[in-house]
């Protein structure tokens, strides 16, 4: 019975959505895709297939690591700005302003070319265990993207922490919870729920920032497409495929976050 009504619902919704003009538009889009498939050159695909998959894997890996690390950094940044004393709040505020006020490309180049050119002058850095990592490009990319995510998300977390109703925290104290327990059980979860919708947007923005690491010689999917363009002298095919890949990843991210959002109790505050 419920299964039947669900099917009827889906059919009704699809037939409402699938109006005549949409069918025409979909046909036009299909025609464009078929035209691109048959009239453009795709014979380079088998040769660069593995490299492309590795590039996608690297992009996703950079996205995941920088988002997680950036969020972990954003929590203290937000907390310091929401409640901290002046000596905690002011540096956090300055950090967020500087990160949000300068282009990520400049931050990336400052770290990679700037710091990277200063390090070799110091023998103790060259002799330390970090040196093999500091000579590669990806740690600078990860650091820059992490700091950028922390800067933007720190501002969001400030608002989220400040937005949790005072009564919730007072009730927790009345129950005899310690400050740490209040933070862990009440304050942080509720702030996280409030920040979640913006977190989706920030993660998509972060995905769209990952191709910048290609400018400091990290081989992500963008760098792979640049290599294809250089090797084959094709302009459009690699770029169109690249755009399609990013759109697919964005779609998956938005879908995954909407599922997480749906699981969260919406009666907060």
CB contact at 8 A, 232 and 44: yes
Tell which positions 6-25 bind other proteins, by CB under 8 A.
Answer: 19, 21-22, 25
**Cα-based distances in Å from 250 to 192, 240, 243, 245:** 21, 15, 10, 9
122 contacts other proteins (rule: CB under 8 A): no
209 contacts other proteins (rule: CB under 8 A): yes
Binding residue for other proteins (CB under 8 A) from 243, 256, 260, 264?
243
211 contacts other proteins (rule: CB under 8 A): yes
Per-residue contact flags (x/-) with other proteins for residues 18 to 57, judged by CB under 8 A: -x-xx--x--------------------------------
User: Interacting stretch for other proteins, rule CB under 8 A, among 30-38, 48-56, 60-68, 95-103?
Assistant: 95-103
Task: Please report how close the Cβ of residue 57 comes to other proteins at its closest, in angstroms.
Answer: 17
Is 66 or 209 the residue whose CB approaches other proteins more closely?
Answer: 209
Task: Give first-to-last CA distance, the chain, whole Å.
Answer: 38
Task: Please report how close the Cβ of residue 182 comes to other proteins at its closest, in angstroms.
Answer: 26
106 contacts other proteins (rule: CB under 8 A): yes
Name the one residue in this structure whose structure tokens are 């695909």. 45
Closest CA to 268 of 158, 168, 154: 168
- Residues comprising the chain, all counted: 269
Distance CA 196, CA 157 (A): 10
Tell me, by CB under 8 A, how many residues bind other proteins.
41
105 contacts other proteins (rule: CB under 8 A): yes
User: Interacting stretch for other proteins, rule CB under 8 A, among 42-50, 76-84, 108-116, 153-161?
Assistant: 108-116
Binding residue for other proteins (CB under 8 A) from 134, 137, 177, 240?
240
Task: Please report how close the Cβ of residue 11 comes to other proteins at its closest, in angstroms.
Answer: 21
Distance CA 163, CA 182 (A): 15
**Helices 138-163 and 45-83: crossing angle, nearest 10°?**
40
User: Interacting stretch for other proteins, rule CB under 8 A, among 65-73, 110-118, 138-146, 149-157?
Assistant: 110-118
The 10 Å CB-count burial string (b at 16+, else e) for 59-69 is: bbebbeebbeb
Binding site for other proteins (CB under 8 A): 19, 21-22, 25, 97-98, 100-107, 109-110, 113-118, 204, 207-212, 215, 222, 235-236, 239-240, 242-243, 246-247, 250-251
């Amino acid at each position: 019975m419920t299964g039947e009504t669900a099917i009827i619902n889906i059919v009704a919704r699809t037939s409402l959505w699938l109006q005549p003009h949409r069918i025409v538009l979909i046909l036009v889009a299909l025609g464009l895709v078929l035209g691109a498939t048959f009239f453009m050159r795709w014979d380079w695909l088998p040769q660069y297939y593995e490299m492309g998959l590795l590039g996608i894997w690297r992009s996703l890996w950079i996205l995941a690591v920088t988002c997680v690390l950036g969020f972990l950094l954003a929590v203290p940044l937000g907390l310091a700005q929401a409640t901290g004393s002046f000596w905690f709040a002011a540096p956090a505020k300055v950090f967020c302003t500087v990160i949000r006020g300068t282009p990520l490309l400049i931050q990336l180049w400052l770290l990679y070319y700037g710091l990277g050119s200063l390090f070799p002058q110091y023998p103790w850095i060259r002799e330390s265990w970090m040196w093999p990592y500091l000579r590669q490009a990806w740690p600078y990319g990860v650091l820059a993207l992490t700091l950028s995510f922390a800067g933007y998300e720190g501002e969001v977390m400030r608002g989220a922490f400040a937005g949790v109703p005072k009564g919730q925290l007072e009730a927790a104290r009345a129950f005899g919870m310690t400050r740490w327990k209040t933070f862990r059980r009440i304050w942080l979860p509720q702030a996280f729920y409030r920040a979640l919708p913006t977190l989706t947007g920030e993660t998509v923005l972060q995905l769209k920032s990952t191709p910048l690491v290609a400018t400091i010689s990290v081989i992500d999917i963008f760098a792979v497409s640049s290599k294809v363009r250089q090797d084959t002298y094709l302009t459009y095919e690699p770029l169109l495929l690249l755009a399609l890949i990013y759109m697919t990843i964005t779609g998956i991210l938005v879908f995954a976050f909407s599922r997480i959002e749906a699981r969260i109790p919406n009666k907060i505050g």
